[in-house]
A and B are shown apart, each in its own frame.
Chain A
Amino acid sequence: MREVSTDEIIKVIRDLCMDANYNLGEDVLAAFDRGIKEDESPVAAEILEELKENARIAREEQVPICQDCGLAVLFIELGQEVHVTGGNFREAVDEGVRQGYADGYLRKSACHPFTRKNTGDNTPAVLYVDIVPGDKIKITIATKGGGSENMSRVTVMAPAMGIKGVKDFVVKRMEEAGSNPCPPTIVGVGVGGTFERSSFLAKKALLREIGKRNSDPELAEIEKEVLERINKLGIGPMGYGGNTTCFDVFFEVEPCHIASLPVAVNVQCHASRHKEAVI
């Protein structure tokens, strides 16, 4: 067994919270540039230039890209040969988030759903743990904003709706979402599993790098087709009109029950913030 202390886990998560919120991924920056070059709308290009400049300021001054620093969603792959020492694993995750959001001057957005009272430290984190072979811990953080999350939907279709039904559902969702989720968006689609598993798959799909296609050639084609259909809607950056409505569409698919066709669409704004580290 390899021993990893909770102190180390806390430190890594603390730093990831800040890294994710200050430093936008290269894939998103490249997508801004493509939009600036290719969008037919001059206003669209101006908005994308602003977003590029915003990302530059955030990186140089180490300030949040967006004031909505999100709920902290953590995907942790815990090697089965690792022994966590020095405290409670779950508490260490929350402590890392607590320290990252406090020390990084990040906005705390977690609140009670009914009273709306802010928990004050952005905890609890949303935590998914997978036990995997090996003696490492891989920690991925996605800081997920509320505006785009609010535009997400999950449904369980009749199997007869088939792949056409799934594609139409995604495109219709993005048309209805319109300007609300801060387009250009990234769209995660989870198909299969159970009701909640499809939502998990949709969220996990958002961790993929822009431009990277599904390894299944059939799904890769579907991703391209749905992306093209969303970009034909004309919504454009911030909804002011244009061809750059969506940067990419990612499908994650798993087997489901013979009676069901669960489909989840998780919408991500252009401030797609996720980082990972391995201990």
Chain B
Amino acid sequence: MPDHITLTTPLSDQDVENLKIGDKVLLNGIIYTGRDAAHKRLIDLINQGKELPIDIKGQIIYYVGPAPAKPGQVIGSAGPTTSYRMDPYAPSLMKLGMKGMIGKGNRAPEIVEAMKKYKTVYFGATGGAGALIAKTIKKSEIVAYEDLGPEAIRRLEVENFPVVVVNDTLGGDLYVEGARKYRKE
């Protein structure tokens, strides 16, 4: 068995159902960025019955606010931000067909439940490895909310972007299982 699973977005239900906690995945294709302020705006649009600035179906949102690009760089350092802050917004996006989220840190139990219901997975990227992760981002373009600066929504083209499955569509949780395995009394 290969060490990594390689996936290209957009993802299907079957793609995500095959993933299990602890799987190492290399993502390719398009992913969108979004964190606190952008999520608030997206959900406001959904609540008003308006169209979103991105087609979320089958897509992945990466919780990140990158550093500015130095001359010659595609993007500045771009590691994940803590995900629980997006918990209040995530289920509405799952309902619209979002298939994955990338971040770091625990999700609330109701989000893990929603992932089961809507067949969405939560990927962990290595927090604090922003310089390394930026190397896998080949293109970056702002597609909405430029006024939000680092919080704008960007369309990223990625090649072998490394993530680990933290929550799968069966309700599994790598954080719970991992700590259980290595805990000492």
Residues of B36-71 at the interface with A, using a CB-CB cut-off of 8 Å, are 36-37, 64-70
B-side interface residues, number (CB < 8 Å): 46
Chain A contact residues: helix, strand, loop or mixed: loop
Judging by beta carbons under 8 Å apart, are B37 and A239 in contact?
A: no
Judging by beta carbons under 8 Å apart, are B127 and A147 in contact?
A: yes
Judging by beta carbons under 8 Å apart, are B81 and A147 in contact?
A: yes
Q: How far is the CA of A58 from the CA of B129 in the complex (A)?
A: 9
A9 part of interface (Cβ distance < 8 Å): no
- Report which residue of A106, A236, A241 has the largest number of chain B beta carbons within 10 angstroms of its beta carbon: A241
A82 part of interface (Cβ distance < 8 Å): no
Q: How far is the CB of B23 from chain A (nearest CB, A)?
A: 11
Contact A234-B179, Cβ < 8 Å, known A150-B82, A240-B174: yes
A276 part of interface (Cβ distance < 8 Å): no
Judging by beta carbons under 8 Å apart, are A182 and B164 in contact?
A: no
B135 part of interface (Cβ distance < 8 Å): yes
Contact A238-B76, Cβ < 8 Å, known A150-B82, A243-B182: no
Judging by beta carbons under 8 Å apart, are B178 and A65 in contact?
A: no
A85 part of interface (Cβ distance < 8 Å): no
Judging by beta carbons under 8 Å apart, are A105 and B79 in contact?
A: no
Residues of B103-117 at the interface with A, using a CB-CB cut-off of 8 Å, are 104-106
Judging by beta carbons under 8 Å apart, are A241 and B181 in contact?
A: yes
Judging by beta carbons under 8 Å apart, are A180 and B130 in contact?
A: no
Judging by beta carbons under 8 Å apart, are B37 and A182 in contact?
A: no
Q: How far is the CA of A67 from the CA of B131 in the complex (A)?
A: 8
Judging by beta carbons under 8 Å apart, are B128 and A270 in contact?
A: yes
Judging by beta carbons under 8 Å apart, are A240 and B164 in contact?
A: yes
Judging by beta carbons under 8 Å apart, are A63 and B105 in contact?
A: no
Judging by beta carbons under 8 Å apart, are A179 and B106 in contact?
A: yes
Q: Mark B123-157, 1 if CB is under 8 A from A, else 0.
A: 01011111110110000000000000110000000
Q: Say which residue of A107, A180, A234, A269 sits within 8 Å of B76 (CB atoms).
A: A107
Closest 5 CB pairs of A and B: A241-B178, A234-B183, A234-B182, A180-B105, A182-B127
Given contacts A234-B181, A240-B124, 10 further A-B contacts (CB under 8 A): A54-B132, A63-B76, A65-B128, A66-B79, A68-B65, A179-B175, A180-B84, A232-B183, A239-B104, A240-B178
Q: Can you name 13 A-B pairs with beta carbons within 8 Å?
A: A41-B182, A43-B178, A50-B126, A54-B129, A54-B131, A67-B66, A68-B65, A179-B175, A181-B82, A182-B128, A234-B182, A238-B126, A242-B182
List residues of B whose CB falls within 8 A of some A CB: 22, 36-37, 64-70, 73, 76-79, 81-82, 84, 104-106, 124, 126-132, 134-135, 149-150, 162, 164, 174-175, 177-185
